[in-house]
Amino acid sequence: MQRTLLHAKLHRVRVTQVEIDYEGSVAIDAVLLEAAGIREYERIDVFNIQNGERFSTYAISGEPASGMISVNGAAAHKASVGDLVIICAFGVYEEREVRDMKPRLIYVDDANRIVRSSHIIPMQAAG
């Protein structure tokens, strides 16, 4: 059996631009792509925290160390500059790979600079 698991997450990155007349995709600071292990042209899912929109597209490399998160093409209708989004990439793994698979989770500050990384999503206490 194969399972689809999260392999990378950019948590609460801020959209820096939207380009409706661009040929689709999300341009992501190359430093963030590298840290997360997301490859250029890899399928990504984007979850907009501000408005609840969810969409799939592919990643392209943006200027390194720029903090760029540019939502382009038709997806630009689903985000605005300043929106916080979660960007995820998933991989398909054989059952024998699942036990050792650890996602790369990248957390950023308000300027989309990496502040920490992890392989474990912390559990939230029920309130």
The CATH number of the domain where 108 resides is what? 2.40.40.20
Q: Quick one: residue 13, left, alpha or beta (phi over 0 = left, psi -120 to 50 = alpha)?
A: beta
Overall number of domains in the chain: 1
Give the pairing type, strands 25-29 and 69-72. antiparallel
The residue annotated as part of the active site, out of 22, 58, 93, 107, is 58
* Euclidean distance between CA atoms 1 and 44, whole angstroms: 23
80 is catalytic: no
**Any domain includes 61:** yes
| Whether pLDDT at 5 is above 80 | yes
Torsion of CA 60, 64, 67, 68, to 10 degrees: -30
Residue-wise pLDDT for 27-74, tens only, equals 999 999 999 999 999 999 999 999 999 999 999 999 999 999 999 999
**Any domain includes 35:** yes
Q: What is the pTM of this model?
A: 0.93
**Any domain includes 73:** yes
**Any domain includes 120:** no
> Which amino acid makes up residue 94?
E
56 is catalytic: no
Per-residue tokens: 85: 């989004």
Residue-wise pLDDT for 20-30, tens only, equals 998 779 999 99
Q: Write out the residue range of the structural domain in which residue 90 sits.
A: 2-112
Tell me the mean pLDDT in the region 103-110. 97
**Any domain includes 96:** yes
Residue whose pair of structure tokens reads 């990248």 in the numeric block = 106
